[in-house]
Structure 1
């Protein structure tokens, strides 16, 4: 089936979601006429606007919204209130769908984007699909997740764990498809040679990433007399706490926080890093990582990775074959793994070569985008 118009809805631009931008760019390069709008952030933010909507569409949208709101108020008043407040944006989305002749609506993340996409699709009489990732399925009560996704024609998940969360809430397994995000491998040349002793990570600085564990591991390495520096890129709600922890641990110049970096600079840092660490944990609300993009990029470029199985990394990394896995919240085990990679160059190279093979076989963007195209074709019917 040739490419056809699809309207995609995102919440807001996020520096950590490079995988979505790459996916959209590649679809456009392959001729897909995509309309991408966001709920927040200029210039693509959907306006809160009713006036452009024909009366018939307005009535259809209000009927769909009324049914959902009557169901949601007694179960999740906060979700219902948020949906009611953003209902004019669903009207704007419906207007765009009509104008662009979309055959399919596609929501990124099973949150408010899915709620509004479902309403607009129902009013337009069109199929819709949703891409689920991590927090949107791991930290949400299953009944709410089911109510959000039950009318979707199909769901794509970027990890098996995310797919399992969707089927566990009650969606039929045949509706849920695992399609991994891919990397444009020509942009990620493999070279395992490293001259320095720099450890690197890049992520949103939040509880589930376990960067406090990394700082404690760095303190252990410093006490052992191991030579290293550690660079932490990113920002987030735990940023101030992590800076304070680094000071309490007297890490000084051994650890540098850079804030968010452009994608090109992250790639350059990865190409120079002796190892990449992401000691993720499962947060108290159930949130955890999917398959973190920074791990895949490191694996493609030749930097050995150390992470945990708290999220979906275990779907990709086999301990001591293409990376190192340590228990979450275990600074000693993390320090041991990093120490090994800092000292044992042969081990680091062997892990890096196996990791590149994994990425080439399972995370090549050119291969994976074909699976997404087939998903869209099946879903649109």
Structure 2
């Protein structure tokens, strides 16, 4: 959702943007506004395979030297796993198709919303057309880094990231000159409603966690922390909202830990309805972890969303999260993968409502300033304007949390 909002905000400032996706139509998880805009997205996916191979052949004849140089890059880089290699190879091929589409549509700058496959496709298309190219690097698309990240930074006119921790990380793949291309602009708040949560802080305390059910969210650690709270007789209920490949494992873990009466798994909740959950909860918990591969969150947008509702937040101290959550000031921080510490932080927040409300108010003030849509959209707009971009193309994959 935050990329969709980023695009809409830039369009509102007068930047003409055409949106292209490497994949087919999204069937689930779209807000009402996103469904209305879906018709304006040019999509590739399996239905475009014939055209992709046709354009690979056409560009190899039209620009043989450039095509040979491209074929010597992406297909032969060292990727972190087979899945990542396959994604980048598909994106590499899709770049030839995008080059044809961009030429037909009069695109003059190519931007990728993610640094992995989308940036691969954008880089290929821009190279074939001799167009300026840029990309954003945010979370799992740069952690762990893909086999061509340094080359993408070198080829890009600018690189955008959304937290300071990533600036330092990306600079490690660039020389001193290329490091100057890396710009930090925080994401913008996306929820229309910012009504303050009631935060009754009365037993049973209502805990809320939201996110994709994937390896970087640490929801298994949260369930283990809930078992400790349950054993201590701490009165709580957790609503764990989301969907993803770890869903079956989390449901099994809830059963194994004896938490069926304490933990509710309503599944995916649309962006239109999520504000209701923030408004009716006492504490928001974001137990993010760094996976053994290096994959991690940047700053989960749900933290900012929760604080924009003045909902107290407990989170882990990884990546860019401490840029928002200052322990004891704007929320509570706990070490990652430490159920006991996470449980203690939740209890400390719950038993002192006055302190929790003060931290939530300070957090709300911070996120409204750091993630202000007008300010941050203008900063992004300036990146494109400084690069003299009359028309931009956003070559993105499917949206991610």
Q: Which runs of 5+ in 2 are unaligned?
A: 26-38, 390-401
Distance 1:83 1:262 in 2: 29
Is residue 234–residue 261 contact of structure 1 (8 Å, CA) maintained in 2?
Answer: yes
Is residue 52–residue 93 contact of structure 2 (8 Å, CA) maintained in 1?
Answer: yes
Which residue is equivalent to 1:332? 340
Shift of 1:308: 1.0
Distance 1:85 1:193 in 2: 47
1:106-145 pair list within 5 angstroms: 106-140=111-145, 144-145=148-149
Distance 1:65 1:83 in 2: 16
- Deviation per CA, 1:160-185: give whole Å up to 9, x if none: 12222221112522100001101157
Distance 1:54 1:308 in 2: 45
Aligned-residue Cα RMSD (Å) equals 2.4
Is residue 205–residue 238 contact of structure 1 (8 Å, CA) maintained in 2?
Answer: yes
Which residue is equivalent to 2:66? 64
TM superposition score normalised by structure 1 = 0.88
Shift of 1:88: 4.9
- Deviation per CA, 1:266-299: give whole Å up to 9, x if none: 2110111101111111110011110100000001
**What SS is found at the alignment partner of 2:225?**
helix
Out of 273, 287, 298, which is 1:265 matched to? Answer: 273
**What SS is found at the alignment partner of 2:248?**
helix
Q: Is the aligned partner of 1:159 residue 2:163? A: yes
Out of 12, 20, 29, which is 1:29 matched to? Answer: 12
Distance 1:188 1:341 in 2: 21
**What SS is found at the alignment partner of 1:129?**
strand
- Relative to structure 1, the CA distance from residue 86 to residue 173 in structure 2 (aligned partners, 3 Å threshold; closer, same or farther) is closer
Which residue is equivalent to 1:14? none
- Relative to structure 1, the CA distance from residue 56 to residue 237 in structure 2 (aligned partners, 3 Å threshold; closer, same or farther) is closer
Which residue is equivalent to 2:380? 372
Shift of 1:210: 0.9
Distance 1:293 1:269 in 2: 15
Which residue is equivalent to 2:296? 288
Q: How many residues are aligned here?
A: 363
Distance 2:143 2:286 in 1: 19
1:143-292 pair list within 5 angstroms: 144-171=148-175, 172-184=178-190, 187-191=193-197, 193-194=199-200, 197-292=205-300
**What SS is found at the alignment partner of 2:155?**
coil
TM superposition score normalised by structure 2 = 0.84
- Deviation per CA, 1:140-178: give whole Å up to 9, x if none: 25x531123321111000111222222111252210000
Which residue is equivalent to 1:39? 22
Is residue 218–residue 335 contact of structure 1 (8 Å, CA) maintained in 2?
Answer: yes
**What SS is found at the alignment partner of 2:261?**
helix
Out of 326, 330, 333, which is 1:322 matched to? Answer: 330
Shift of 1:226: 1.6
**What SS is found at the alignment partner of 1:253?**
coil
Distance 1:351 1:251 in 2: 29
Distance 1:145 1:123 in 2: 19
